[in-house]
Structure 1
Amino acid sequence: MTASFSNKLRRGISPVMLAIVMAVALVLWLLLGDQRSAQDEAPPPKELAAEQLHKVETRWSQAEPLSREQVLQGQLLPWQQVQVMAQVSGRVEKLLKQQGERVSAGEPLLQLSDEGRSQQLEQARAIYRLRQKELEGARKLRASNYVTENEIVRLEGEVARAQADLSAAQLAVKYNQPVAPFDGVVDRHHVEVGEYVQPADPLMSVVNVERLKATAQIPQQEANRVAEGQAVKIRLLDGRELEGEVNFVSLAADPQTRSFYVEVEVANPESWRVAGGSATLRIQLPPVMAHRFSPALLRLGAGGELGVRAVDENGQVIHYPVRVVAMTEAGATVEGLPERLQVITQGAGFVDPGQQVRTELVPPGEQNDASGVAPIETQPLPGQGAAE
């Protein structure tokens, strides 16, 4: 029975079909054999890369609010200070205000001799009235065609000239008594009774020190940090302090120093005698989120910028440029970083930005690189403080 089945099978399969079946079987055997050989000879690529990744130590750093101040050296000036000048010539007849006396705006300071200016004023008034009468009469005659239009125009010009002369004479008499330009104090006398003065000669100095003006120069790299309205603490050389507010920051730098002019309005309720002296200005800047590291963690980037190296969530090294806010014995306080990052504390010098690394997270308090520095405290900006 078996022999007859085999004979029937050989008779039912052609040589061509048999060759195709054998070829397919051979191809399947070769494919299965290559796959098994590859698995036996080499480990997966991922296992190989994990063994060769560089290992670094890291710790988490959390940014904290940092109150900053810009420290500048400047000087204090009176809020207003004017030298009252003579505007007419004459002899000083009387000093109406003494040095140190308070004056109100428009109050007479001294009396100059008249030098005939009052008589000139009376004459100017009389001429002005005369010219007005002449013009009024001519206009009445013009209605009857007894006066030409040109005559009317000439008389109008005479009236205008007489009015200008009258105004000048009134001012000349007014200048016999120079007045205070604003509320303040007479700071200095520059003339004495009996002294003869000419126009533009200084007579008295009037100052207003109920408010003061603190001025300073801010370096160009720090100018954008200061704005109008920021609070300022002013420390005097004797240790006393005043408070003020930024009143003005110039838009253009001084071409000689490349620094910007800053003006601060300072309250002086007790009228301290400090105008003209030097002072230290501490401008209170808006707080920033800052990190504090050991200076050993700061490195230069490819472009020469100072920065810190950290690891992202994918285990790749990132170089973050930073700006140093303060450098003290407690560490380097920097800004420009994310609020939270995994900073490399050991091995940063052996890896490059973009490189994949293996990380070992060091718990807080176990760092051996002096990166566990003290908490952030208020610090002035570097390079701006001077000895007080």
Structure 2
Amino acid sequence: MFSQLSKRPWLIAVAISLLLLLWLLSGSLFTAKQAASADQPAAEPGLAKVEIQWLQASPMQREHVLQGQIEAWRRVELRAQVSGNVVRLDQDKGSPVAAGELLLSLSADNRPAQVARGEADVRQRQAEVDAALRLRERKLISANELIRLQSELAKAKAELDMARIQLKDTKIVAPFAGVYDQRMVELGDFVQPGQSLLTLVDIEQLKVSAQIPQQDVGQLHIGQVVHVQLLDGRKMEGTLHFIAAAADPGSRSFRVEVKLANPERLRLAGASATLRIQTGEMLAQRISPALLSLDQAGRQGVKWVNEQQRVEFTPVQLISVDSQGAWVSGLPHKVALITLGQGFVEPGQQVAAQLAKGDS
């Protein structure tokens, strides 16, 4: 045999090359097996593998973020109580006015004459009653006649009061201090009772209204400090002064109102704002929103692994969400959260858990 190989030296080179290749392959396989056993913990065959991350609860400020609408503290639409022509525009639109200040005048027409006639009628009826009282003391007139005269006096006084009110209603005055906001009539217009004349708004104080979900309304109370942020970035501070007693039938949320001081009378009414209401400190964990899932009952929660290497599902309350993740409460103080493979395991299932890279 050796004589044959000596006659064919190329066969010797091929045989040596094959032996070297087999030796190299056996060493690589052995090294790979060693590396795999070092990276993977011992696990029972057939168990689903998941990655976990240990999370510990930390204190955070519970904060409700609501989108609100800024409104004037008071807004009233003044309407005509009597008919007449607009004879004077006593204030310009947009001007601040004091309570009781004259805003607009209607024609008096014959109302001063009606007042004068009413005053004369009352004086006459009063004199008749006074005379009847003296006669009644001497029993010269009946009690019924005295009652009739007293009734005529009361009627005359009522008519005089009505005439005075109608004359007074030709002067439209501000019921409170505010800003003369809109005017619906012009000089010379004829108006009828009930017709809109102008609007007056009070913006020295503002209110910001918003809706809060029914599950969160119990955490609010009157007088809480509320931080208000405008669309342009400006920040203001107000207090919660109203919480609706009943939820809106459509949204099942409760209306809340925040009182906001505006001494500079900035034109903010009608704008949008973000409300931030802090309701105390609590323990919570920050997780990725992608780890949230729903159970068969539709509850929102997360999956984690207990000490027996079994999957648990715990419903959580979403406190806040930002660019870095979601703050949730309801989990154990320290928990092995499943970060990879949670979609392939169910509560109660035993798994092979390993730490996610970078976790200790």
TM-score (norm 2): 0.72
Give the one of 235, 244, 256 matched to 2:250: 256
Deviations 1:206-253 (A, max 9, x none): 111122121222233333333322222323233333322222121212
Partner of 1:7: none
After superposition, give the CA deviation of every residue in 1:328-360 in whole Å (9 maximum; x if it has no partner).
Answer: 67554222356x44657699968849x9xxxx9
Given the alignment, which residue of 205, 229, 241 partners 2:235? Answer: 241
Number of residues paired by the alignment? 310
Q: Deviation of residue 324 (structure 1)?
A: 2.5
| Distance of 1:344 and 1:83 partners within structure 2 | 59
Q: Secondary structure at the match of 2:161?
A: helix
Contact 1:250 1:262 in 2 (8 A): yes
String of CA shifts for 1:272-308, please: whole Å, max 9, x gaps.
2221222222233323222335678867778664356
Judging changes above 3 Å, is the alpha-carbon distance between structure 1 residues 91 and 284 closer, same or farther for their aligned structure 2 residues? same
Code of the residue aligned with 2:68 in structure 1: it is G
Aligned equivalent of 1:74: 68
* Structure 2 CA distance for aligned equivalents of residues 241 and 166 of structure 1: 55
Identity %, equivalent residues: 43
Q: Is the 8 A contact 2:285 2:329 kept in 1?
A: yes
Alignment deviations for residues 104-132 of structure 1 (CA, whole Å, 9 cap, x no partner): 11111122211111111111111112222
Residue 128 of structure 1: aligned partner: 122
TM-score calculated relative to the size of structure 1: 0.67
Which of 94, 101, 111 is equivalent to 1:100?
94
| Unpaired runs of at least 5, structure 1 | 1-53, 373-388
User: Could you tell me how far 1:183 is from its partner in structure 2?
Assistant: 0.4
Distance 1:216 1:106, change over 3 A: same
CA distance in 2 between counterparts of 1:188 and 1:133 reads 49
User: For residues 219 and 359 of structure 2, what CA distance do their matches in structure 1 show?
Assistant: 29
- C-alpha contact (below 8 Å) 2:52/2:356 kept by paired residues: no
Alignment of 1:1-388 (within 5 A): 62-293=56-287, 305=299, 306=301, 321-327=315-321, 330-337=324-331, 340-341=333-334, 343=336, 352=348, 367-368=355-356
Counterpart-to-counterpart distance in 2, 1:284 and 1:189? 41
Which letter does structure 2 place at the counterpart of 1:179? Answer: V
Contact 1:186 1:205 in 2 (8 A): yes
Q: Deviations over 1:145-202 (max 9, x none)?
A: 2211212222222222112111111111111211001001111222222222221222
Separation (CA, whole Å) in 2 of partners of 1:350 and 1:96: 76
More displaced stretch, 122-131 vs 274-283: 274-283
1:160 maps to a residue whose letter is A
Distance in 2 between the 1:215 and 1:198 partners? 35
Q: Is the 8 A contact 2:54 2:359 kept in 1?
A: no
